[in-house]
Amino acid sequence: MAMEIAATGRAVPEQRVTNDDLAKRIDTSDEWIRSHTGIGSRHIAGEHTACSDLALEAAKQALSMAAEREGRTPEAAALSLDLILVATATPDHYGTPSTACLIQGRLGAAEAAAMDITAGCTGFIYGLEAAAGLLAISGARKRALVIGSEILTRFTNWDDRGTCVLFGDGAGAALLEKTTAPAEGPEKRGLLRTILGADGSGAEHLIIRRGGSRLPYKPGETVDIPPHIDMNGQAVYNFAVKAVTGIIEKLLREEKITIDDISLIVPHQANARIVQAAGKRLGIPEKKFFLNIEEYANTSSASIPLALDELNRSGKLRRGDLIMTIGFGGGLTCGGNLIIW
């Protein structure tokens, strides 16, 4: 049985920091950041905001959207959840408790199982497929909330201009449920096909090195900078262009469709140049890709659900549209979904 995205939500911190704002603090410029990445600004969470706070806001929005349609309260919609998955690289706490458990408690989703997914910027795509599988395997489970949420700016080395200009904070949520739509014909909708991939040999290229069991902080050690993201930009860039082209080709081939059948591609928003390079290689016009990186920068696992909610709420996704998501990032991981909206 197919699973459809029945509702969406998003949360973005109020504080908006432009490239010019950054250029006052570090050796960079609006011109460099825009021309190398397409980023114009990023939203940064206040010091008391954690990953679960943004995730909760996005979750509540998705539940309110569903509740309104169903004529019940958001609290009742929360009680209808069977599963909560949170994709994040920047959880409230490392190891335990999962951020998903924090959301489960704060939503009062008493019937829902909860766990986190660590798959870098591909986390939401892994999350959708994991949720679809867990719903499919049990007749009792009907609804899952899949959330991507990140506070990346707290794990950013603000002395490294090569990475600190790239990241922003945000969250996006999608309510996935067993569809009541017919399995075939023009009314068909839902998650059609997913590709998931990983290349652990590239793990070193995008890594939070300190703070885990491999390199813990030691008692008495002076911590000059907190755990932060180290990235070999060129290596990840090359992986990303190959991943985006490979996933588009594979999804089209496996589904026996052409790019003309796709209404919109929603890629992970890491760098507009990655998308442009992949589009050029495949001869896909730029307007086929949705980009909001200019406003939000790279929000890792949040970027795709955040984009989906923006598109959904602005009426840019019509029922029956075939859309493609593509993710790539830390792990290294990559993946993509084909979804009939």
Whole-angstrom distance, CA of residue 335 vs CA of residue 340: 17
Handedness of CA 122, 128, 130, 131 (dihedral sign): positive
Q: Total binding residues for ligand UT7 by CB under 6 A?
A: 20
Residue carrying structure tokens 């009541």: 180
Regarding 36 and contact with ligand UT7 (CB under 6 A), the answer is yes
Whole-angstrom distance, CA of residue 275 vs CA of residue 241: 7
Regarding 246 and contact with ligand UT7 (CB under 6 A), the answer is no
43 tagged catalytic: no
Residue (79 or 291) nearer to ligand UT7, CB:
291
Residue 181 in contact with residue 188, Cβ under 8 Å?
A: yes
Short-list 317, 336, 325, 322, CA closest to 7: 317
Short-list 173, 144, 2, 148, CA closest to 82: 144
Whole-angstrom distance, CA of residue 185 vs CA of residue 190: 13
Task: Indicate which residue of 228, 268, 312, 334 is catalytic.
Answer: 268
When binding is defined by CB under 6 A, the residue of 15, 237, 276, 282 that contacts ligand UT7 is 237
51 tagged catalytic: no
Question: Minimum distance between the CB of residue 325 and ligand UT7, rounded to whole angstroms?
Answer: 14
Regarding 24 and contact with ligand UT7 (CB under 6 A), the answer is no
334 tagged catalytic: no
When binding is defined by CB under 6 A, the residue of 146, 175, 236, 338 that contacts ligand UT7 is 236
Residue 317 in contact with residue 288, Cβ under 8 Å?
A: no
Residue 95-124 contact track with ligand UT7, rule CB under 6 A, x = bound = --------------------------x---
Handedness of CA 85, 43, 280, 199 (dihedral sign): negative
Regarding 173 and contact with ligand UT7 (CB under 6 A), the answer is no
Question: Minimum distance between the CB of residue 244 and ligand UT7, rounded to whole angstroms?
Answer: 10
* Cis amide prior to 97 (ω within 30 degrees): yes
Regarding 153 and contact with ligand UT7 (CB under 6 A), the answer is no
User: Which residues are known catalytic residues?
Assistant: 121, 268, 298
Question: Which stretches of the chain bind ligand UT7, using CB under 6 A?
Answer: 28, 32-33, 36-37, 121, 161-162, 165, 233-234, 236-237, 240, 270-271, 274, 298, 300, 329
